[in-house]
Amino acid sequence: MRRHAVVLPGGSYRTHAPHEGEPVAAWLRSQGLPASVLRYPVRSPHPAAHLSISARVAELRSQGVDRVLLVGFSAGGHAAGLAALSPAGPSSRVDGAVLGYPVVSLREHVHRDSARVLLGADDTPVRRKALSLDALTTPAAPPFFLFHSFDDPKVPAEHSRLLSAALTTSGVAHELHLYPVGGHGCGLDPRVGWTRACEAWLAREGWLEGVGAVEGARRETGG
């Protein structure tokens, strides 16, 4: 079975943070999971980024990829979550999502920079709800891995907690990891420690093969 991870760097939908792109894809490849970076459209209202992600997923499917994982950070986490939670046909279906300090809600604890870009001139309560991940969660959602830091000054940890609560209500398998220190935009910073937990989750969910999967299982069991 062919697997592939698409990495979506953050940047408030205005730019792409370099440290959340290729370094993350390289880490995933080191674990045995093929990965690439998608530099989705920025500075354009919804659905520009969403359409780009859906097209990339469909492209991978056409190339014979069976399972697609989205890995996103901050605004890229919102983009990944939106693609994973929005109704989609078989060609653009997402099989799992890893979200780091994601923008989740455009109604509570709003990240204004992302909201301004996404909403454009169409800033209404209905549209804000339609772009809030917690409002889109259904039992059909794929498994999620979420992580956030309590000291995040830009996107409060309440965002990940809102999504976790919605996933729990819908009975969707997921993990939420909250760290006391990490700030915003930590990327692969080893001081936070989320990659170790994520490797174990990837192994459990069947995303890793070969040495990467063995190492993930060892870490999970403390071996």
> Using CA atoms, how far apart are residues 65 and 87, in angstroms rounded to an integer?
20
Kind of pairing between the strands at 35-37 and 67-73: unpaired
Tokens representing residue 100 in the block = 């780091």
> Using CA atoms, how far apart are residues 222 and 178, in angstroms rounded to an integer?
20
Q: What is the DSSP string of 39-95?
A: ----SS-TTHHHHHHHHHHHHHHHTT--EEEEEEETHHHHHHHHHHHS---GGG---
Low-confidence ranges of the chain (pLDDT < 70): 210-223
CA 205 centroid distance within chain: 15
CA 165 centroid distance within chain: 16
Q: What pLDDT, on the 0 to 100 scale, is given for residue 210? A: 57
Assign 179 to helix, strand or coil: strand
> Using CA atoms, how far apart are residues 95 and 183, in angstroms rounded to an integer?
28
Query: The domain that contains 102 carries what CATH number?
Result: 3.40.50.1820
> Using CA atoms, how far apart are residues 108 and 45, in angstroms rounded to an integer?
20
Q: What pLDDT, on the 0 to 100 scale, is given for residue 90? A: 87
Structural domain span for residue 60: 3-221
Q: For the chain, what is the domain count?
A: 1
Contact 61, 94 (CB under 8 A): no
Tens-digit pLDDT profile for residues 46-102: 999 999 999 999 999 999 999 999 999 999 999 999 999 998 788 999 999 999 999
